[in-house]
Structure 1
Amino acid sequence: MAAKSKFYGEGLTFDDVLLAPAYSEVLPREVNISTQLTKDIKLNLPLLSAAMDTVTEMELAIALAREGGIGMLHKNMTIQQQAEQVRRVKRSESGLILDPITLAPDATVGEALKLMKDNKIGGIPIVEAGHKLAGILTNRDLRFEKNLKRKVSEVMTSSNLVTAPHGTNLVKAEKILQQHKIEKLPVVDKDGKLIGLITFRDILQFRSHPNAGKDGFGRLLAGAAVGITADVLERVDALMNAGVDVITMDSAHGHSKGVIDCVKLVKKNFPKLQVIAGNVATAAGAKALATAGADAVKVGVGPGSICTTRVVTGAGAPQLTAIMEASQALKKMGIPV
């Protein structure tokens, strides 16, 4: 091999280039900055947070999703803790809450108050056997209740209970909520079984954050990181059950057998799950991950202002050139970078 072929060649990073101004008839308010995160997920705001334990937990993930971006929950916690973080993001607001927190009629007032406090909610549907709706318990029902051992069936609202049929949209739901001056609207099927819950708070959030990134059920988008570890399938399964929309496989060197095999394993077991894999800095690395099944490829080895990877290891590539090469390599495959 010639000595020259061993060198990367000329590369550019962002500080090396400027965009030449050109004639435009587009006004700033008309600019569309939406982008494809993966083949199936679109972001209204092209902003994704780092999956670091000093950066992204549920608070930031909720805030980002409300603005149109997405947060990647870090993996430096137990499987159960990370799944619960995803669950909290998905529950924070929803067009229709498909799995609302419920209680049985024989639960106590104390249990209800603790559940409301822990999950920061103001109402709980009460269901009987078979998930049949028996009533609803709200802060208003509990405001003056002193006996914590009293059963919720004795204080819940059960008579003249206002419900909505399956298929009710937010516009119709808002009219029902306003007509009856209530804030929680249980959605039931023809047999009276609870299938969801619509809240006035979610309707207000929808108005306040029109660009929010949401899934097909009106819930905020949530992402999570997983490692190249022996328990990766267990973690991914828990995240899927919690409602995660996309996972990212974080590795300092994504163009490696371990990462490629992990992508294949996860996609084989969870074919519908969107997977972001990385990090790579070459066209060959991007192609390898895309061929393995990645729905998006994360490009960049040590490009961050505080990252020391390039200095410590002597490995990497100028970021702008790395992005251009990866993007061109994956263009025909339709895989975003």
Structure 2
Amino acid sequence: MKNIGKALTFEDILLVPNYSEILPKDVNIETRLTKNIKLKLPIISAAMDTITESDMAIKMSLLGGIGIIHKNMTIERQIEEVLKVKAFNIETIKAKNRSEPKEFEDVVDASTDEMENEVDNNVKKRKKSEFSEKEIRYDRSYDNPNIDSNGKLCVGAAIGVNDMERAKALVDAGVDVIVLDSAHGHSLNVIKTLKNIKSSLNIDVIVGNVVTKEAVIELVNSGADGIKVGIGPGSICTTRIVAGVGMPQVTAIENCAEVANKFGVPIIADGGIKYSGDICKALALGASSVMLGCLLAGSKESPTELEKIGDTLYKSYRGMGSIAAMKNGSGERYFQTVNKVSKMVPEGVEGKVKYKGPLDDIIYQLVGGLRSSMGYLGCQSLRELWEKARYIEITTSGIKESHVHGLHAIKEVMNYST
């Protein structure tokens, strides 16, 4: 077996500050999702059944990003979720935001004393995907939404290998981008499906997941409009342990972006991001955007029920390679078609994350960290970030020094935990 070298992940590196005249508030974080689709915000919510349905996708696009509706549902239901996003009335929100702040109902805020009553009386009774204009917080600004040429919110949807029926139905429903989702994007059936879609449908296609230059070249040559990078970095993914396969995310992004950017095909860094600083590291390495799962799983907008354990509220989060997710339809993503649980070989786990409240607050902190990083680096745009950013590899002691240390009973803050 050939050793092709050492690989790094986010915690192994730090970005080096540059001389700067740039203030965080002045940076431009607009980017491209695909060759043809732009984003106002370089963040995508993952196509996972505990992350993105219409509520999440609506809010992501209002904030300037995009959500990818997962495929662990019937074609009819997935189309329904897409249509809910497209039907959302942006003008109503704009009008409300121009007026004085008003009371809003059915909104749970993690900071309120009445949270427990709200959970008991409202959230637990709510059916999935029942977001409406009146439930968007009126004191928030959505003046830079991600919209299509018809002024409707943008939304993406995931499909599996050989799922042309689903792809055609989604295109007919008006989806903006299709994500061809596989644990191993550099494989024959993925490439065949990609070519089939590009030759028969007028739609941008993001393909993943991959970690090598060779994979990027093959997918670009097969028509990919965007490429997802990451095998095994997710908090709920066990692929690297179960299969012994993958690549630490910093090296994977660096490898893939080096090739993809020459072809003008955007890279999406998918997985392994724990902090806002990791987002800037991923973008500095050449990614055009990041896909988030765990960081968004605790939001009000994720499609799982709130659960109270002791005095703390939680939401469920699971990998698409977990037993439960594969039973619901994601098995083919991991090349598994058996229905009997005892015959499944999971590459993911199920768990719970703390409830964090509205997505707005989560994204605000993540974008704030990104803007701060770009200010330190003297970069006004993501293009400048690619050109100017430098990183250093740090030791285990350096990692320890980077985190909070020497304290007891640390007061919890929204953008940091150990």
TM-score category, normalised to shorter length: 0.5 to 0.7
Matched to 2:189, the amino acid is G
Q: Rg larger in 1 or in 2?
A: 1
- What corresponds to 1:92 in structure 2? 88
- Counterparts in 2 of 1:297-308, with a 5 A limit? 297-308=227-238
Q: For residues 183-219 of structure 1, what are the alpha-carbon distances to aligned partners after superposition, in whole Å with 9 as ceiling and x for unaligned?
A: xxxxxxxxxxxxxxxxxx9xx99x9411110001110
In the TM superposition, residue 12 of structure 1 has moved relative to its aligned partner by 1.3
Give the deviation of 1:268 after TM superposition.
0.6
Give matches, 1:317-328, under 5 Å: 317-328=247-258
Q: How does 1:16-27 map to 2 (within 5 A)?
A: 16-27=12-23
Equivalent residue for 1:243?
174
Does 2:183 correspond to 1:252?
Answer: yes
The runs of 4+ residues in structure 1 deviating greater than 6 Å are 118-122
Q: CA offsets per residue over residues 91-128 of structure 1, 9 Å max, x none?
A: 112569xxxxxxxxxxxxxxxxxxxxx99889xxxxxx
- What SS does the corresponding residue of 1:18 show, helix, strand or coil? strand
Task: Say whether residues 1:264 and 2:195 are aligned partners.
Answer: yes
- Match for 1:216 among 145, 149, 157? 149
Q: Which has the higher contact order (CA 8 A, sep 6+)?
A: 2
Counterpart code for 1:250: D
C-alpha distance in 1 between matches for 2:90 and 2:13: 42
- Checking the alignment, whether the CA contact within 8 Å between 2:35 and 2:265 is kept in structure 1 is yes
Matched-pair contact (CA < 8 Å) for 1:278–1:289? no
Q: Residue 274 of structure 1 corresponds to which residue in structure 2?
A: 204
Question: TM-score of the superposition, structure 2-length normalised?
Answer: 0.52
Structure 2 residue identity aligned to 1:330: A
**Cα separation, 2, equivalents of 1:120 and 1:324:** 38
Percent identity at matched positions? 50
Distance change in 2, residues 1:119/1:63 (3 Å): closer
Are 1:34 and 1:46, in contact at CA under 8 Å, matched by a contact in 2?
Answer: yes
CA contact (8 A) 1:286 1:297 kept: yes
- SS of 1:45's equivalent in the other structure is coil
Secondary structure in 1 matching 2:206: strand
Of 52, 68, 83, 2:48 maps to 52
Please state if 1:64 is matched with 2:60.
Answer: yes
Consecutive unaligned residues of structure 2, counting only runs of 5 or more, are: 93-128, 268-418
How many residues in Structure 1 have an aligned counterpart in Structure 2?
228
- Secondary structure of the structure 2 residue equivalent to 1:241: helix
Letter in 2 for 1:303: P
Equivalent pair of 1:94/1:217 in contact (CA under 8 Å):
no
**TM-score, normalising length: structure 1:** 0.64
Residue correspondence of structure 1 range 1-337 to structure 2 within 5 A: 3=1, 6-94=2-90, 208-229=141-162, 232-270=163-201, 272-337=202-267
CA RMSD of aligned residues (A): 2.3
Whole-Å Cα distance in 1 between the matches of residues 238 and 165 of structure 2? 32
Structure 1 unaligned residues grouped into runs of 5+: 97-117, 123-200
